[in-house]
Amino acid sequence: MNRTPITVNPEDYPIEYRSLLGSEVYNSSCSPAAQVLFIDKVGGVFIKRAAAGSLCREATMTRYFHKLGLAVPVLDYRTEGAQDYLVTVRAEGEDCTHPMHLAQPERLCDLLATTLRTLHDTPAPDCPIPNHTALYLQTAKTNAEAGMFDATCLLNDRLRDTVRSAADAYAIAARDGKNLTQDALLHGDYCLPNVMLSDWHLSALIDLDHAGMGDRHVDLYWGAWTLCYNLGHDQLRERFFDAYGRDLIDLDKIELISIIETLG
């Protein structure tokens, strides 16, 4: 977790938060789209601030995952003026990018895979975001129209040779997106920084702004991607898939997800 000491003006925040902001405050942001403050008080509290309406899905799905025992509680969510505010407690332990976790890559890989399989096997008939796939494909369409394209998301050289632009990627997404299902509870951004462990047991899943009922291969893609990115090599991809369970993995779908992800 990033922790850079920062000075903030409490009057820039809702009056109910100002007593918290009198304590030690750290910048824990990882995206220009949102400011995340960590307050080192009562076990740790996060205040996330972003454009009005942009944190609604994260608040909704964090509350839902908390009900399932998979996330920390939401202390407050509100919109004031042009800003959204989301307040949560700090999860126990450290995220999976902590050196003590990265020092045991095989153990980390297996835990990441089995935790994901457990998430996907969790019954969620009342999930408040039942249509992740539709939202996912609509985002791909919107971003393709804006010309967004990131070839680094592609899984291999064969794909990089054939998918060279947003137009190429969206043509495939529009043609094959109908093959994606909505039959598993997803994290939506299943990367090592978003999985909190305490003594090598899941403490919480965080940053749930892309969660919902969707196609498991979205999470499988990101699980394989994050191991490669955070460990600096791709030697554990097959082990990750084996530990998850090959019975539910379609490698063609994972390639499709990698193409869609080029569109942001």
- What CATH number corresponds to the domain at position 239? 3.90.1200.10
Tokens of 258: 């990698």
For residue 234, indicate whether it is catalytic. no
The CATH number assigned to the domain holding 70 equals 3.30.200.20
Among residues 50, 68, 89, which one ends one of the domains?
89
Among residues 30, 55, 89, which one ends one of the domains?
89
Same-domain status, 32 and 137: no
What is the average pLDDT across 47-61?
A: 97
> Quick count: other Cβ atoms within 10 Å of Cβ 15?
9
Same-domain status, 56 and 76: yes
Q: How confident is the model at residue 30 (pLDDT cuts 50, 70, 90)?
A: confident
Same-domain status, 41 and 100: no
Burial 60-86 (b: 16+ CB within 10 A, else e): bbbbbbbeeebbbebeebeeeeebbbb
Tens digits of residue pLDDT in 236-252: 999 999 999 999 999 99
Tokens of 24: 């030690």
User: What single string gives the DSSP state of each residue in 16-39?
Assistant: GGTTGGGS-EEE---BTTEEEEEE
Same-domain status, 46 and 125: no
| Dist CA 68 CA 202 (whole Å) | 13
Percent of the chain with pLDDT over 90: 88
Same-domain status, 38 and 65: yes
Give the residues across from 202 on adjacent strands: 197
| Structural domain boundaries enclosing 107 | 94-261
Tens digits of residue pLDDT in 136-188: 999 999 999 999 999 999 999 999 999 999 999 999 999 999 999 999 999 99
C-alpha 54 chain-centroid distance: 15
Same-domain status, 50 and 117: no
Same-domain status, 48 and 102: no
Among residues 62, 89, 116, which one ends one of the domains?
89
Q: Which of 110, 161, 183, 189 is catalytic?
A: 189
Same-domain status, 13 and 61: yes
What is the average pLDDT score of the chain? 95
Same-domain status, 190 and 98: yes
Same-domain status, 55 and 103: no
Structurally, the chain folds into a number of domains equal to 2
Same-domain status, 21 and 100: no
Same-domain status, 65 and 102: no
What is the average pLDDT across 112-135?
A: 98
